[in-house]
Amino acid sequence: MFTLKHLSLLFVIIVSTEVYAQFDTVVFSKEGYFSYESIVYMGDQNNDGYDDFVLSIRPDPSLVAGFATFFYGGNPISNDSLFSIPFQAPRAVSACDWNRDGYRDIIVETASPPNPIKFQVYFGGPQIDTISDHTFYFSFRTVQIIP
């Protein structure tokens, strides 16, 4: 049960706590055509204390395909990307810790006609690069629908 002592401590914590944003001004500008969900959070890949990210950028508004472009975070953030990976559609870029090493990995859907949908996984971490570390295919023909 809360007592006056607990409420007083809670009040002191709330009043004395300050919240800081990492950036409070425009720190980055990049030309390109962006879609919803075009920023993918990658966590701190190079252990410099700043979160890194991927932007899904299309070179032309009439195209669906584009590039997943990787940037290191920092203060300031560089306008120069580390690398870019082609993708099939902006929402086809995601990140998760695929290999469970503590770093988020990039997962990209790419075109592979006439084959099923092709997914490529790029392992994250200090040695992140454009060489696919794992590839798998998905086809709706192999999915079994259970009524």
> Which residues, at least 6 apart from 2, have a Cβ–Cβ distance to it below 8 Å?
none
- 75 in a structural domain: yes
In a domain, 84, yes or no: yes
Q: Is residue 22, in this structure, part of any structural domain at all?
A: no
Number of domains within the chain: 1
- Judge whether 23 lies within some domain: no
Q: For residue 144, what are the CA distances in angstroms to 52, 80, 97, 135, 139?
A: 38, 45, 27, 22, 11
Query: For residue 8, is it within any domain?
Result: no
Q: Give tens-digit pLDDT for 112-147.
A: 777 778 889 999 999 999 999 999 887 766 656 566
Assess if residue 76 is contained within a domain: yes
Model confidence pLDDT, tens digit, residues 98-120: 999 999 999 998 877 777 788 89
CA distance 75 to 107: 27
Distances (CA, A) of 72 to 16, 28, 54, 78, 84: 33, 12, 9, 8, 13
pTM above 0.75, yes or no: no
Whether 145 is in a domain gets the answer: no
CATH number reported for the structural domain that contains residue 78 in this entry: 2.40.128
Higher model confidence: residue 33 or residue 93?
Answer: 93
Which residues are CB-neighbours of 100 under 8 A, at least 6 positions away?
Answer: none
| Model confidence band, residue 20 (pLDDT cutoffs 50, 70, 90) | very low
Domain that includes residue 58, residue range: 32-140
Q: Is 7 contained in some domain?
A: no
